[in-house]
Structure 1
Amino acid sequence: MFRSTSLRLAALYTAAFALSVVALGAITLLTTRSALSEQFDARIQSESGALTQEFYSEGLEGVVQAVRERDRTPGALDYGLVGPGAKPLAGRLAVSGARPGWSTVRSGQRDGEIEPIRVLTVALPGGYRLMVGDDEARIEALDGAVLRGFAWAFAGVVILGVAGGFALSRDVHRRLAAISGTAEAIIDGDLSRRVPVRGSQDDLDRLAETINRMLDRITGLMESLRQVSNDIAHDLRTPLTRLRQRLEAGLAREGERGEAIEGALGDLDTILDTFAALLRIAQIEGGARRAAFRATDLAQLAGTVVDAFAPSAEDARQTLRLEGEPDVVIDGDPELLTQMLVNLVENALRHAGEGAAIRVGVARGVSAPVLWVTDDGPGVPAVEREKLFDRFYRLEHSRSAPGSGLGLALVAAVARLHGAEVRLHDARPGLEARVTFPAS
């Protein structure tokens, strides 16, 4: 934890705040001292001016009396009056030897201590000099109080910064340790582990939610890979077994060799189609076909597919018609979109049953283009609908019917490539496959 980034950042911010307190204290001290010195000087000048005026109005005796009275007053300033030849006449400062103008002298105070005094000495007519001063220890005492206050503030900032930084670092360390522990558990093979989320929606919570979504996706892909491996082994075992049996029969019976070879070629075509579909899905999911995107009219594309499958629908005593709006244009790969719609129509023709009505529709939708294929056949149970987009998944679990179970998986791959969402809904009766494209 002591090597953690959060603790180092907290220490850095604490040092920055501590330096700020020092700088603020220095500025406050200088400003306060300057303001207090100006107040002291103004008070001394005011008192000196009042006594000078009294000298002119009351004469020497009046000033002497005033100085002596003020000198006896507790908390008053310090005074002094000297005559010609520096003869002391009144006040404690009379023996200080202060020079004319502003000066600092050291003189005994009422409590017997020697303190520095700031003195203003004014010359009066007749060789007299008037001195008025104030104790500079008051300024020094205020300086000490300011320094002590900022020293406590500095100590408080440092203590709170260190404590807060340690607490913050400890909390972040625990949460990062939980993420690290989850990653270690997954590395060890426990794909069910997830990063704990507090629900505070802070940065680490959002990171944990993103990691959990990524782990869910990885888990789904691993499960899909396992299922695909099992289904490939199951689906290819049957045609390969038939292929071997036909070849053996052809070797044993010369007259049936042509029929055996023809059946073997059909089985090989089924196997090749399966691998071709898998390769196509892998290419689509890899985004390799995105360079072929261009403006594509869904309505025109749907009309072409409906026209192509109309004879097949008539042969199966089914109806196939186009509905919806014209000129619905999206950005996409026309070839892949055609393959997606072909798979949806073939799926409907194959499973809707004899006499079914199949509708292919295109519309601009409320906020995004929509493509759908609807039939009035037996439909699909709700619990099975999402599974139909998995590779090799079939409703017919015996897997004896023709097909590889990759048609709707390819539909889902094409939809993801185009940023679209494909869903299966209950058409009451029948099934509706609806593809919603992103808004232009």
Structure 2
Amino acid sequence: MFRSTSLRLAGLYTAVFAISVVILGAVTLLSIRHALSEQFDARIRAESAALVQEYRSEGLTGVVEAVHERDQTPGSLEFGVQGPAGEPLAGRLAGARAAIGWSALRVAGTGEQEPIRLLSVALPGGRKLLVGDDEERIEALDGAVLRGFGLAFIGVVVLGVAGGYALSRDVHRRLAAISGTAEAIIDGDLARRVPVRGSDDDLDRLAATFNRMLDRIAALMESLKQVSSDIAHDLRTPLTRLRQRLEAGLADPQDRGAALEGGLADLDAILETFAGLLRIAQIESGARRAGFRPCNLQTIARTVVDAFAPSAEEAGQRLRLAGDGPAPVDGDVELLTQMLVNLVENALRHAGPGAEIVVEAACRGQAVTLAVADNGPGVPEPERERLFDRFYRLERSRSTAGSGLGLALVAAVARLHGAEVRLLDAAPGLEACVTFPAPA
């Protein structure tokens, strides 16, 4: 935990705040000292001007009496009056030696030398007036400010260290849970998930995203196992039939031609199955997303309906296009055409003789839909979602041609385009509805 990034960041922030407190304390101390010095100087100048005025109106006697009165007042300034030769006349500062103007000196106080801020003013007749104030009050205030900011500095450091340690410990524990989950999954426990607190903070969102990724990986692994099992199951029949025909051709030369023709048909079916699997894998990889362009589903639907309408009519069925408004989406025209072809072929194959198949592409609110509906026997609701699994086929459909990959390819194309595909009850019949997000 002591090597964790969170603890280092907490330490860095604590150092920054501590330095900020030091800088703030220095600026505050200097500002207070400057303000107090200006107040002291203003008070000294005011008293000095008042005594000079007293000297002009009352003479030396009046100034001496005024100084004696002020000396008796608690909290007043320090004063001194000197004669022409510098001899002390009145006041505690009368014996100080200072030039005209501002100066700083120390005078004897109660037990130690006291710092004095002094203003010397020349009086008529060669005399001198001295007015000063004790700077110990400024120093005492400086000490109080320093002690306050010192305690604040210590508090910031203590709280920063304690808070940083607590924060780092919590973050470390949660990151350790994520790391432990990853290690467990590496060891083969694919059901393990990262615990989520429910606080909806960044680590919770990371854990939720991590869990969704794990769910997706688990689904893909399960799908891969299912596909492997389905491939072994669905290809066993054509391979067995191919072997039997080859054996029959070897046993009877007269049947060799028919055996070879049947074997080629079986091989074509096997190759078609693998081609469908490869196409689905290519779509699911997202490589075709770079070819997305603005297109109109209505145009694609009209093209597919025009192509399949004659064959549907020959089979005693009716295929028609509903609606004529634009249905704009961003996508791959070739893949969207293949998706619609698969849906139409699936409807023509399973709807039965005399069925009517309706293809519709339309804008519905903020979404664009592509629907293929028929009035055939339909599909039981529990089995509708499974029809999108690879190689899954209804029992009544196993005697018809097909590999069970058509709707799986439809689902892959829909996911690539960010669309949702559903099988709905058309009452009677079945409706395959693909809902696309509105184009940007």
With over 3 angstroms needed to count, the CA separation of the structure-2 counterparts of 1:378 and 1:185, relative to structure 1, is: same
TM-score, normalisation: structure 1:
0.93
Aligned residue in 1 for 2:257: 258
2:269 aligned counterpart, secondary structure:
helix
Q: Distance in 1 between matches of 2:293 and 2:150?
A: 71
**In the alignment, does 2:392 pair up with 1:393?**
yes
> Contact conserved, 1:186 with 1:193, CA < 8 A, in 2?
yes
What SS does the corresponding residue of 2:267 show, helix, strand or coil? helix
Cα deviations across residues 208-254 of structure 1 (Å, max 9, x unaligned)?
22211111111111011000000000001111111111211222223
Q: Which residue of 2 aligns with 1:368?
A: 367
Q: How big is the shift at 1:296?
A: 4.0
In the alignment, the residues of structure 2 paired with residue 60 and residue 329 of structure 1 have an alpha-carbon distance, to the nearest angstrom, of 106
- Is 1:300–1:326's contact at 8 Å kept on the other side of the alignment? no
Give TM-score, length-normalised by structure 2.
0.93
Contact preservation (8 Å) 1:96, 1:106: no
**Compared CA separation, residues 251 and 14, structure 1 to 2 (3 A):** same
**Separation in 1 of the partners of 2:305 and 2:279?**
23
What is the match of residue 113 of structure 2? 114
Tell me which moved more, 236-245 or 428-437. 428-437
C-alpha separation between the residues in 2 aligned to 1:334 and 1:50? 99
Partner residue of 1:15?
15
Mapping of residues 265-304 of structure 1, within 5 Å: 265-290=264-289, 293-304=292-303
Opposite residue 319 of structure 1, the aligned amino acid is R
Residue of structure 1 equivalent to 2:378: 379
SS at match of 2:192: coil
Match of 1:34 in 2: 34
Residues 125, 182 of structure 1: alpha-carbon distance in 2 compared, 3 angstrom cutoff: same
Report how far residue 183 of structure 1 moved: 0.8
1:92-103 superposed matches below 5 A: 92-103=92-103
Q: What is the one-letter code of the residue matched to 2:135?
A: E
Matched length: 439
Relative to structure 1, the CA distance from residue 376 to residue 328 in structure 2 (aligned partners, 3 Å threshold; closer, same or farther) is: same
Residue type at the aligned position of 2:95? V
Q: Which deviates further from its counterpart, 325-334 or 88-97? A: 325-334
Deviation at 1:177, TM superposition (A): 0.9
Residue of structure 2 equivalent to 1:63: 63
Q: Which amino acid aligns with 1:105?
A: L
Cross-structure match for 2:87: 87
Amino acid at match of 1:45: R
Is 1:150 the counterpart of 2:139? The answer is: no
Moved more, 41-50 or 327-336: 327-336
Q: CA offsets, 1:378-436, max 9 Å, x none? A: 22233322221121122229955532110101111222333332221121222111122
Alignment partners' CA distance in 1, 2:84 and 2:62:
17
| CA 1:397–1:214: 2 relative to 1, 3 Å | farther
1:173-252 counterparts in 2 under 5 A? 173-252=172-251
Of stretches 315-324 and 140-149 in structure 1, the one that deviates more from structure 2 is 315-324
The one-letter code of the counterpart of 1:381 is: P
- Name which of structure 1's ranges 213-222 and 416-425 shifts more when overlaid on structure 2: 416-425
* Amino acid in the other structure paired with 2:317: Q
Q: Which range moves more in the overlay, 179-188 or 256-265?
A: 256-265
Query: Hey, what's the Cα distance between the residues in 1 that align with 2:332 and 2:56?
Result: 109
Preserved CA contact (<8 Å) 2:350 2:397: no
Q: C-alpha distance in 2, partners of 1:149/1:295? A: 68
User: What is the deviation of 1:367?
Assistant: 2.3
Report the CA distance shift for 1:327/1:102 in structure 2 as closer, same or farther (over 3 A).
Answer: closer
The answer on whether the counterparts of 2:360 and 2:372 sit within 8 Å (CA) in structure 1 is yes
The one-letter amino acid of 2:369's match is V
Return 5+ residue gaps in structure 2 as ranges.
none
- Please give the alpha-carbon distance, in whole angstroms, between the structure 2 residues aligned to 1:99 and 1:380: 113
> Which runs of 5 or more residues in structure 1 are unaligned?
none
Equivalent in the alignment of 1:309: 308
